[in-house]
Chains A and B, each alone.
Chain A
Amino acid sequence: MIRVRRSAVIDAPIDRVWEVLRDFNSHSAWHPAVGDSRIERGEPADQVGCVRNFFLKDGNHIREQLLALSDRDYISTYCILDATLPMRNYVASVQLKRITDGDRTFWHWESTFNVPKGREREFEQLVGGGVYEGGFAGLRSYLNGGTRRAVASVEAQGVVATAFGDPEVLQFRKVADSRPKAGEVHIRQTAVGVNYIDVYIRKGLYRMIEPPAPIGMEAAGVVVESNARFPAR
């Protein structure tokens, strides 16, 4: 049995996040890995027992059933009925909590399931990194209206995907960076993480960039310019 757990903070009020996530058929609008999706038999997407029938952008086909939905506790629980992936006994749960400090949302996503022996690590990464972390990033972008950067630029260096493909498409380049918009800060990065989702983005599996564009989703650093509540130093 594999247990996958991921969580994130979304910078939006809980009711805004829940409005999207309580809709069992909304994932095709916000999740970068999900293609076409429909609810079978024309049932409402908030009816317990309804089945969503969808394709992943990599071609896999999955049917999932809504097992529990709570507007009171902000919980949605569902299982896989059929999948072209070798996952068995998959039950997943999404739960939101209100972060009163700043009116943000804590999002916990977890599941348990079985896979063929020897493929545990692969599926832990696929589900935890590709599906859950990819979903966090996708929802953030969706709530921001899918907006991408613009405005005046400062000079920076970055690892740029010049096209979708194997690692050869990556180049270390000067990149144009924008000044921080409202709610954003500009940081000088001192450490960066490389995540599995970066591989999916580089391959073009998740269309979260249009090459040429820098990739990478995780960094730590020093705030050099702030357009948020945090002071620069």
Chain B
Amino acid sequence: MIEAPADAVWAQVRDFNGLPKWTPFVAESRIENGMPADKIGCVRNFRLRDGGVIREQLLTLSDYDYQCSYSILESPMGVENYIATLKLTPVTDGNKTFAEWWAEFDCPPERERDLAQNIGQGVFQAAFDSLKQKLR
């Protein structure tokens, strides 16, 4: 739950090139080939504070449903077929926002628990926490 209207939250997260602005772990980001960040198919190339580089491609962007999905093209995480979706739902009672962020991917079975924990808590929840601070 984020204590801000969905429009305000969406204004932050809609920018596919905006991770450095609202997440604690992305140092810098650019969109490849000079494409607009809301052109479907564009690729964001970003560097984490720990040095890792990730390339992700925008698959879906909906200003109507407040929803964005993307796939990983390259990353140091050792995952395959990774597709993530970030979706906001307005909570009319109180003008707040219900935010969901989920991913599906393949990996070796012995790494499942760690990756689910790292991505769920270390990435998605950490980004949400940072977003809450920013929109407070």
Q: How far is the CA of A35 from the CA of B54 in the complex (A)?
A: 43
Interface residues of B (CB under 8 A from A): 35-36, 38-41, 59-65, 67, 69, 83
Q: How far is the CA of A206 from the CA of B93 in the complex (A)?
A: 49
Interface residues of A in 69-114 (CB under 8 A from B): 69-73, 75, 77, 91
Chain B residues near A15: list those with CB within 8 A: none
- From the candidates B35, B36, B38, B41, name the one contacting A71 in the complex (CB within 8 A): B41
One of A39-47, A135-143, A194-202 contacting the partner: A39-47
Other A-B pairs beyond A68-B62, A69-B60, A72-B83, 16, CB < 8 Å: A46-B40, A46-B41, A47-B39, A48-B39, A48-B40, A48-B63, A67-B63, A68-B60, A68-B63, A68-B67, A70-B60, A70-B61, A71-B59, A72-B60, A75-B60, A77-B62
Contact call B69/A91, Cβ cutoff below 8 A: no
Chain B residues near A67: list those with CB within 8 A: 62-64
A49 within 8 A of partner (CB):
yes
Contact call B40/A71, Cβ cutoff below 8 A: yes
Q: How far is the CA of A91 from the CA of B40 in the complex (A)?
A: 20
Q: How far is the CA of A121 from the CA of B67 in the complex (A)?
A: 34
Q: How many residues of A contact B (CB 8 A)?
A: 17
Q: How far is the CA of A22 from the CA of B35 in the complex (A)?
A: 17
Chain B CB within 10 A, most for which of A22, A46, A48, A73: A48
A22's nearest neighbour on chain B, judged by CB, is: B40
Q: How far is the CA of A91 from the CA of B64 in the complex (A)?
A: 10
Chain A residues near B61: list those with CB within 8 A: 48, 68-70
- Chain A 5-27, CB-CB to B under 8 Å as 1, else 0, gives 00000000000000000100000
Chain B residues near A49: list those with CB within 8 A: 38, 63
List, sorted by A's number, 9 A–B pairs whose CB atoms are closer than 8 Å.
A44-B35, A44-B36, A47-B36, A48-B63, A67-B64, A68-B65, A70-B62, A71-B40, A73-B60
Chain A residues near B67: list those with CB within 8 A: 68
- From the candidates A43, A70, A77, name the one contacting B40 in the complex (CB within 8 A): A70
Q: How far is the CA of A22 from the CA of B32 in the complex (A)?
A: 21
Chain A residues near B36: list those with CB within 8 A: 43-44, 47
Nearest 10 Cβ contacts at the A-B interface: A68-B62, A70-B60, A67-B64, A72-B59, A47-B39, A48-B61, A69-B40, A48-B38, A46-B40, A68-B64
Contact call B63/A44, Cβ cutoff below 8 A: no
Contact call B69/A72, Cβ cutoff below 8 A: yes
Chain A residues near B83: list those with CB within 8 A: 72
Chain B residues near A47: list those with CB within 8 A: 36, 38-40
Chain A residues near B69: list those with CB within 8 A: 70, 72
B61's nearest neighbour on chain A, judged by CB, is: A48
